[in-house]
């Protein structure tokens, strides 16, 4: 058994025992109350599941196994030629709860290279879809098509015991993560590079190799991919992509089905697609105003016009956060370190100044601050990556690290099939008569 799998197994067995005791001794304790508004309000804030790999505080933002993003930048191993954390290290941390040594990350890079396998039938599916198919559709279909190589379903059919579910879930997750950059790059090159595919570079780490297969070998873009793929990975369990992956996986659908479904959730404009919407909205502003250096007054008016037309300001607001998203701040810091004099980045920073007070003035927006999607497009465009319809695929490749680490935990802990109770409005009307 490899070291990563062994550490994971030992830790999950120990936690599984603790959880059994916790439930046995405290199972009847009340954790939360449900208010009527939450029945209709997307269950905001309701504590109703566990998720081991990360936790989100409304004020402080995300912590991955207890580590904030600035701490990860300090503590996770970096590539020999860079300063940004390697996503391999983040995955190790999510899966084991331990910071990896440099050699662990080197091993994982090699392991994912070994496991990467994009079959011909997946390429055929992508090639046979109309060229104007959205990249997220292709990405979800591609993930599903990789299922033919899945191990969990095969072992399940052979009669595997429930105590072994974690093992093929780990194997499938590792194989899938290893292959995702190749799948995503295949989609990109088919759609935007006249079908000219770029072979992986065996000397590069997972993130840098992805940058390479996307046709950009600049040092800046490689570093951007490493930090990007690290910070977009996980955001506790209740967000739509993580929760969808978890729900589907709880039926013992394997990780191919589960991730494909999670990616479908990420493709919504209120969730991951917001990264495409932000840059589209900014490009439209530049076109409308006829300048890349709009005045403060022009920007404020554009924001107001968007709201007046009944649309949301993409990249702003959050269901949990109540302060600027640390993932936004991490990208701003990256721009401050690496990008000088970009009109687009300056617009993003001006929006950061002007959107919050305007949203606050509406009196209903609970979080007027930027989220992760507000900044990423400007960084990508700076490095020549302008095909914004593709941006959510980058988010999806990263999100796989978190939700598949979490799915492996769920199978090891034997978490139950998710099946909450729904009620009808008739039931609610009767209920309020007596309460």
Q: Binding to ligand CMX (CB under 6 A): which residues in 313-342?
A: 313-319
Residue from 371, 398, 408, 410 touching ligand CMX (CB under 6 A): that is 371
What is the distance between the alpha carbons of residues 308 and 435, in angstroms, rounded to a whole number? 39
What is the distance between the alpha carbons of residues 190 and 188, in angstroms, rounded to a whole number? 6
Helix or strand run (H / E) with residue 63: strand 61-64
Which residue out of 104, 172, 234, 373 is catalytically annotated?
Answer: 373
Least Å distance, CB 140 to ligand CMX, is 17
Where in 286-378 does DSSP place strands (E)? none
* Ramachandran area for residue 61 (φ above 0: left; ψ -120 to 50: alpha; else beta): left
Please state at what angle helix 87-96 crosses helix 102-115, rounded to 10 degrees: 100
Size of the site for ligand CMX (CB under 6 A): 22
Site membership for ligand CMX, residue 396 (CB under 6 A): no
Site membership for ligand CMX, residue 279 (CB under 6 A): no
Quick one: DSSP state of residue 133?
S
Of the pair 150, 314, the CB lying nearest ligand CMX is at: 314
Is there a catalytic annotation at residue 102? no
Least Å distance, CB 198 to ligand CMX, is 28
Spatial CA neighbour of 11 closest among 151, 162, 166, 160? 166
Is there a catalytic annotation at residue 373? yes
Residues in the chain: 435
Quick one: DSSP state of residue 363?
S
Which residue out of 243, 318, 375, 382 is catalytically annotated?
Answer: 318
Least Å distance, CB 367 to ligand CMX, is 6
Note whether 389 and 272 are within 8 A (CB): no
What is the distance between the alpha carbons of residues 418 and 409, in angstroms, rounded to a whole number? 15
Which residue out of 212, 271, 375, 382 is catalytically annotated?
Answer: 271
Residue from 274, 330, 397, 413 touching ligand CMX (CB under 6 A): that is 274
Site membership for ligand CMX, residue 172 (CB under 6 A): no
Give the per-residue contact string, 37-56, with ligand CMX (x = CB under 6 A; - = no): -------x------------
Residues catalogued as catalytic = 271, 318, 373
Question: Residues interacting with ligand CMX, by CB under 6 A?
Answer: 44, 239, 270-272, 274, 312-319, 359, 364-367, 371-373
């Amino acid at each position: 058994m490899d070291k990563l799998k062994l550490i994971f197994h030992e830790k999950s067995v120990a936690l599984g025992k603790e959880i059994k005791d916790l439930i046995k001794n405290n199972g009847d304790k009340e954790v939360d109350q449900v208010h009527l508004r939450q029945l209709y309000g997307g269950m905001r804030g309701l504590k109703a599941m566990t998720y081991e790999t990360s936790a989100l505080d409304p004020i402080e933002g995300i912590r991955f196994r207890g580590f904030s993003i600035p701490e990860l930048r300090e503590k996770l191993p970096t590539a020999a030629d860079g300063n940004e954390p390697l996503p391999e290290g983040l995955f190790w941390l999510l899966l084991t709860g331990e910071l990896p040594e440099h050699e662990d990350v080197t091993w994982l890079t090699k392991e994912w290279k070994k496991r990467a396998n994009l079959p011909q039938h997946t390429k055929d599916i992508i090639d046979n879809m109309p060229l104007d198919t959205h990249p997220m559709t292709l990405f979800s279909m591609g993930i599903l098509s990789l299922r033919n190589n899945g191990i969990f379903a095969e072992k399940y059919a052979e009669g595997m015991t429930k105590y072994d579910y974690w093992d093929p879930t780990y194997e499938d997750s590792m194989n899938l993560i290893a292959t995702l950059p190749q799948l995503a790059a295949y989609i990109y090159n088919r759609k935007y590079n006249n079908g000219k595919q770029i072979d992986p570079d065996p000397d590069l780490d997972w993130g840098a190799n992805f940058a390479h297969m996307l046709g950009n070998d600049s040092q800046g873009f490689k570093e951007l991919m490493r930090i990007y793929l690290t910070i977009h990975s996980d955001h506790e369990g209740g967000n739509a992509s993580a929760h969808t992956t978890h729900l589907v996986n709880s039926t013992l659908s394997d990780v191919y089905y589960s991730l494909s479904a999670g990616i479908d959730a990420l493709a919504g404009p209120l969730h991951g697609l917001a990264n495409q919407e932000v840059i589209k909205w900014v490009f439209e502003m530049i076109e409308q105003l006829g300048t890349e250096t709009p005045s403060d007054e022009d920007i404020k008016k554009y924001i107001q016009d968007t709201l007046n037309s009944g649309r949301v300001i993409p990249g702003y607001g959050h269901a949990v956060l109540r302060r600027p998203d640390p993932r936004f701040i991490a990208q701003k810091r990256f721009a401050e370190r690496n990008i000088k004099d970009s009109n687009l980045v300056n617009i993003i920073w001006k929006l950061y100044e002007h959107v919050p007070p305007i949203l606050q003035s509406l009196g209903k927006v609970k979080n007027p601050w930027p989220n992760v999607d507000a900044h990423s497009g400007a960084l990508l465009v700076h490095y020549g990556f302008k095909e914004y319809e593709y941006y959510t695929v980058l988010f999806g490749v990263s999100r796989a690290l978190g939700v598949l680490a979490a799915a492996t935990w769920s199978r090891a802990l034997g978490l139950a099939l998710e099946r909450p109770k729904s009620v009808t409005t008739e039931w609610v009307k009767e209920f309020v008569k007596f309460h």
